[in-house]
Amino acid sequence: MLIAAAGLSLTVLPGTANATPGRGISAVTISDHAIGGTDYVLKEITLAPGGSTGWHYHPGQVTGYVKQGVLSHNDASCDSDGVYHAGQVISEESGPGYVHIGRNLGTTPVVLVVLYQSPVGQPLAVDRPNPGCSFE
């Protein structure tokens, strides 16, 4: 289960003012189980060319595997904090102090296999507004 990928989530919470929802993104849940106080959710996420996850953070740990394409990842300072190619693994920090976005700047779909480990009852992701970056 150590397959997973870039901070991408399709779980949408009640809207945050000026939140930046994802676009060009779809997901299929492969597995969803709670063990103890942790929800383990495995998803395959596809990000179309030009698509993005929207700005968000995760209440729990996220680990992902890039199955296809190239994922561009930025943090709230607007700086790139990684470019992940097919075959690479990405791990993201959790909590509201790590707001980020994943984008597909290429011409092929990005396909990720993502493992979310969230406290039971918490969402997989929380939408946030753009922190002031010149891109979505």
Of the candidates 73, 68, 98, 93, the residue with the CA atom closest to the CA atom of residue 83: 73
Q: Indicate the pTM of the whole model.
A: 0.85
Question: In tens digits, what is the pLDDT along the chain, a chain of 136 residues?
Answer: 333 333 443 333 333 445 788 999 999 999 999 999 999 999 999 999 999 999 999 999 999 999 999 999 999 999 999 999 999 999 999 999 999 999 999 999 999 999 999 999 999 999 999 999 999 8
Looking up tokens 């209440």 gives: 59
Write the CA distances from 79 to 22, 36, 57, 74, 100, integer angstroms: 19, 37, 16, 6, 10
Beta-carbon contacts of residue 93 (< 8 Å; ≥ 6 apart): none
The residues spanned by each domain of the chain are 23-121
The CATH superfamily assigned to 23-121 is Jelly Rolls (2.60.120.10)
Distance CA 94, CA 118 (A): 9
Looking up tokens 């920090």 gives: 93
